[in-house]
Amino acid sequence: MQNLHGRDLLTLGDLTPEEVEAVLERAVAQKQARRMAGKPPVPTGKSAALIFMKPSLRTRVSFELACVDLGLHPVVLGPADAFSREETVHDTIKVLERYVDVIVLRTFAQSHIEEVAEHASIPVVNALTDDYHPCQGLADLLTIREHKGGPSGLKLAYVGDGNNMAHTYLLAGALTGMHVSIAGPAGFEPSEAVVATARGLAAQYGTGAKFEVTSDVRAAVAGADVVVTDTWASMGQEAEHAARVAAFAGYSVDAALMSIADPGAIFMHCLPAHRGEEVQNDVIDAGYSVVFDEAENRLHAQRAWLSLVL
Ligand code: CP
Ligand code: NVA
């Protein structure tokens, strides 16, 4: 068993392939146990600060319930509570760690959570930044494994914005040996630094992962085992929504596009979805869509992570 005690999760790149496997194994075991047991959780006397500087449905509910399942007391904080009133990051964290045993943070800049982790003597978990969404990445690897096996050797096509989810799939693919093909319009590619990190991790661990960044959406989706998309305007980009809808014309995942994927392909989306924009109803409501399994698996993946680090 990998020892993850006390570890931060700021990006999936913080993990080795063996550690990813250990988290997924733990998640599978706990998912099964949760279905069968129905026993009340045993309080541990520990607690978690769940800080949301941006809105959330899935992440907030799944982290709160994961804490309750593990006997941790969750304390949910918003932008009026934490990093407010000109209190420094240093002081905020020194206060919080007198109360809680783990900090879960959704924020804007990756540099913000990195600063939090520098000051914190307790584990820090990234619940989404502008650059990464590692908890969604773990849940999605669990979902891919449940539906398609592997994921080593599978082709994952990500269609749309080169955002925090695109970055997360690049790193997830690097650690698990997937072929990750990212398709979007020019100017909306994932960060070259993240692509380079993914290539570096794949080489370091010898996972056999392959990467492509292209504007040719049909080439990316052809033969894919997993087709995934995400919103064209992420949280914080609301003012760009109309311009982005225009820029992403031709990159909506519809049934015609899915028809060139592998016949057994699944469709994924971290949600919230914008039906009629990045995905059409005939795809997200199809039998091959696993979007609500992904949402459920957030709980199992995060509970596994919390139980391993505490
Ligand atoms: N997928 C996801 O993180 O959803 P929320 O933004 O609702 O938490
Ligand atoms: N890329 C999206 C993901 C939401 C879960 C955003 O950052 O808003």
Alpha carbon of 273 to ligand 2 centroid (Å): 10
Q: Which of 136, 145, 225, 244 is catalytic?
A: 136
Q: Please list every protein residue whose CB sits less than 6 Å from any atom of ligand 1.
A: 56-59, 128, 136, 270-271
Ligand 1 centroid, distance to 206 Cα (angstroms): 32
Is the same domain home to 37 and 142? no
Identify the active-site residue in 230, 269, 280, 300.
230
Check residue 160 and give left, alpha or beta (phi > 0: left; psi -120 to 50: alpha): left
Residues 39 and 156 in one domain: no
The CATH number of residue 18's host domain is 3.40.50.1370
Q: 185 with 210, same domain?
A: yes
Rounded CA separation 15/9 (Å): 8
Per-residue pLDDT of 29-50, as tens digits, reads 999 887 766 777 888 999 999 9
Write out pLDDT tens, residues 123-133: 999 999 999 99
The Cα 200–Cα 179 span in angstroms is 14
Mean per-residue pLDDT for 256-279? 98
Choose one of 128, 229, 294 to mutate for the ligand 2 pocket test, by most ligand atoms within 8 angstroms of C-beta.
128
Q: How many residues does the chain have?
A: 310
Residues 50 and 160 in one domain: no
* Whole-number pLDDT of residue 309: 97
Average pLDDT, the chain: 97
What per-residue confidence (pLDDT) applies to 23?
98
Across residues 290-295, what is the average pLDDT?
98
Residue 153 has pLDDT above 70, yes or no: yes
For helices 89-99 and 110-119, give the axis angle rounded to 10 degrees.
60
Question: Please, which residues bridge with residue 301 across strands?
Answer: none
Atom of ligand 2 nearest to the CA of 165: 1
- Binned at pLDDT 50, 70 and 90, residue 76 comes out as very high
In this structure, the answer to whether residues 98 and 156 fall within a common structural domain is: no
Compute the distance between CA of residue 19 and CA of residue 127 in angstroms, rounded to an integer.
19
Q: Is the pLDDT confidence value at 1 over 70?
A: no
Interval 51-78 mean pLDDT:
97
The pLDDT value recorded for residue 36 is 67
Query: Whole domain around residue 67: which residue ranges?
Result: 2-132+298-309
Q: Could you tell me the distance, in angstroms and rounded to a whole number, from the CA of residue 297 to the centre of ligand 1? A: 12
Give the DSSP per-residue string, the chain: ----TT--BSSGGGS-HHHHHHHHHHHHHHHHHHHHH-PPPPP-SEEEEEEESS--SHHHHHHHHHHHHTTEEEEEE-TTTSS-TT--HHHHHHHHHHH-SEEEEE-S-HHHHHHHHHH-SS-EEES--SS--HHHHHHHHHHHHHHH---TT-EEEEES--SHHHHHHHHHHHHHT-EEEEE--TT-PPPHHHHHHHHHHHHHHT---EEEEES-HHHHHTT-SEEEE--SS-TT-GGGHHHHHHHTTT--B-HHHHTTS-TT-EEEE-S---BTTTB-HHHHTSTTB-HHHHHHHHHHHHHHHHHHH-
CA 161, CA 170: separation in Å to the nearest integer?
13
Q: What is the reported pLDDT for 124?
A: 98
The response to whether residue 54 sits with its C-beta less than 6 Å from ligand 2 reads: no
HSE value, Cβ hemisphere, 13 Å, CA-based, for 83: 18
- 200 plus 85 within the same structural domain: no
Same-domain status, 15 and 104: yes
Q: How far apart are CA 78 and CA 63, in angstroms?
A: 15
121 in the same domain as 8? yes
The average pLDDT across 192-219 equals 98
- Structurally, the chain folds into a number of domains equal to 2
229, 106: one domain:
no
CA distance 252 to 268: 13
Q: Do 251 and 230 form a contact (C-beta atoms < 8 A)?
A: no
Task: Identify whether residues 123 and 211 lie together within a single domain.
Answer: no
- Specify whether 270 is catalytic: yes
pLDDT band at 2 (very low <50, low <70, confident <90, very high): confident
Q: What percent of the chain has pLDDT over 70?
A: 98
Q: In whole angstroms, give the CA distance from residue 270 to residue 290.
A: 10
C-beta of residue 10 within 8 angstroms of C-beta of residue 126? yes
Confidence of residue 155 (pLDDT cuts 50, 70, 90): very high
Q: Same domain for 239 and 283? A: yes
Residue 12: CA atoms inside 13 Å, Cβ hemisphere, count?
A: 36
What percent of the chain lies above the pLDDT cut of 90? 95
Residue 146 in this model has a pLDDT that exceeds 70: yes
Do 229 and 163 fall within a single domain?
Answer: yes
Over the stretch 90-106, which tens digit does the pLDDT of each residue have? 999 999 999 999 999 99
Question: What pLDDT does 41 receive?
Answer: 82
